[in-house]
Structures are given as C-alpha cells and as structure tokens.
Amino acid sequence: MTVTIPDAVRQMLSIVEKLCETYPKKKFTLDGRLVGDIGEVLVEDAYDLELFADMKKHHDGECSDGRLVQIKATMKKALTFPADHVPNYYLGVQIHSDGTFTEIFNGPGAIAWEAVKGRAAPKTNLYSVQIATLKQLQARVATADKIPLRSNKRLHGTRGRP
C-alpha cells in the first residue's frame, strides 16, 4: 500500500493528538521532539521519577528522593549529552521499533560527562555519544547511584536492563 506524504502527516498528527490526550505533560511534536517525548514517557512509567509538567532548564524530571534527572532517548546508535551543563542524573535509553527500550546509561551526569570532556562544544549544544561508550561508563555506576525502577514495575516492555 502506497502512502502519500500528506496522508502520512495527517495520520501522524492524529496519533500525536491521541498521545497528547493520554500524556498531557508532553507535546509529541514531529519536529524532532517526538522520540525524546516518547522516551520520557516510557522512562516515567518504568522508573521512580515524575516528569515536570512544564519544560525546565537542564532536567526533565525528579525522583521521589529529590534527585533531578535529564532523560535522553534515541532510536539510533548514539545519544546526546548537553554541552552547556552536566545534569545531576542522566538516564539514556534506546527505543526499539517494537516500542520496547534498552537502558543505556543510568547514573550521575558527572560519570556520563566523561564521554565528552575535553571536546569542543558543538554548534547544536548537544554532543553525540555512541551507545557503546555510554555502556562502558555505565559499568562505573554503583547500584545505589541508579534511578530505581518503580516498586510496582518490572521492565516487561523493555530489553536489557543491566
């Protein structure tokens, strides 16, 4: 079945409208925020954190213990890391085409920052960091320094939780 661009855009916007009704904290815009917003909703559902209702500078949500968390999501082989600050906690996930996700990095932003320190700041203000690099750094994160799963959650919709 062939689909035209106008038909595809209308269908995507209809889906976005439904997502916004279900998850009113997120906009799910098609301008590059869609994967990030989907990732934030998946993370909020699985982990002990609450997304901020409004956009906040440097962090996307807060854990029940007060830790501030920046969430990054990708469907590719790299995640972004901010060039203008080091988030308190950084939780990066890779979303798969079946809607599941893999936790790539979960821990203090200072450890993830090791992947980019010394690099020149990019024009986009976001470094690109290979998933393999973040997985290596993840090995340095103590269990107590990870954002915990919700007590009533098992990551049934995810893959590969370390």
pLDDT in tens, the chain (162 residues): 788 878 888 899 899 999 999 999 998 888 778 899 999 999 999 999 999 998 888 999 999 999 999 999 999 999 999 999 999 999 999 999 888 899 999 999 999 999 999 999 999 999 999 999 999 999 999 999 999 999 876 554 455 543
Q: How far apart are CA 130 and CA 45, in angstroms?
A: 25
Q: How far apart are CA 157 and CA 162, in angstroms?
A: 15
Q: Closest by alpha carbon to 42, among 157, 135, 161, 130?
A: 157
Q: In which domain, by residue range, is 65 found?
A: 5-159
Residue with tokens 């609450």: 50
Counting other chains too, the contacts that 128-136 makes at CB distance below 8 Å and 24 or more residues apart are 128/78, 128/79, 128/80, 129/78, 129/79, 129/80, 129/81, 130/77, 130/78, 131/74, 131/77, 131/78, 131/79, 131/94, 131/104, 134/79, 134/92, 134/104, 134/105, 135/104, 135/105
Q: How many domains does the chain contain in total?
A: 1
- Helix H or strand E encompassing 104: strand 101-108
Q: What is the pTM of this model?
A: 0.86
Q: Is 72 helix (H, G, I), strand (E, B) or coil?
A: strand
